[in-house]
Amino acid sequence: MTDDANAPWLIVGLGNPGPEYAGNRHNVGFMVVDLLAERIGGKFKRAQKAQAQVVEGRMGPPGPANRRVVLAKPQSFMNLSGGPVTALRDFYKVPTAHVVAVHDELDIDYAVLRLKLGGGDNGHNGLKSMTKAMGPDYHRVRVGIGRPPGRMQVADFVLKDFSSTERKELDWFVDRAADAVECLVAEGLERAQSAYNS
């Protein structure tokens, strides 16, 4: 598949399906794509060809920067995200460079964003699964959640809801991450990095 300027973008929020996980730090990717779906006026529905929920629509200003997008929430649990994402990429004929993973990032402070193309998985099981399935050359919108306090295990930390202090900023932070995704799709990585990498 060639990287065609007119090819659609696949924006994947990483998380775990089910109401018991909805507010977890690990599900911040779902929160961001939920907001993006709201912005483009779409409702998630079950994908025909993949274990995922999807919304199809357009993103960006009218004119040449307006892009066809597929927003997706894999329903396979985090550590198996690669299968549904690859199935969606192939079904919608999306170049790998037009795939964007929106995910929680332990090594970045809470409420800080970083965007990049390619790289390692940093121990993140969702990224590990995606990279195994299709290689590392996709975009990442890394949503900082910080490190666990004290001796808390990483697995326990990411599967807990945001603290009451964090929740005060959460709507603003999710909104900013959604803005960053829109900027990436419409204006490219460099522009989005200079505007949103903090």
Rounded distance, CA 122 to CA 53, Å?
26
Contact call for residues 115 and 198 (beta carbons, < 8 A): no
CB within 8 Å of 119: residues ≥ 6 apart: 136, 140
- Give the separation between CA 65 and CA 52, rounded to whole angstroms: 27
Active-site position among 26, 98, 103, 124: 26
Pairing of strands 45-46, 139-144: unpaired
Q: Which of 52, 8, 7, 5 is nearest to 33 (CA)?
A: 52
Tell me if residue 99 falls in helix, strand or coil.
Answer: strand
Is 26 a catalytic site residue? Answer: yes
Token match 């295990």: residue? 153
Antiparallel, parallel or unpaired: β 9-13 and 45-46: unpaired
**Both ends of the chain: CA-CA distance in Å?**
33
Report, as residue numbers or ranges, the catalytic residues: 26
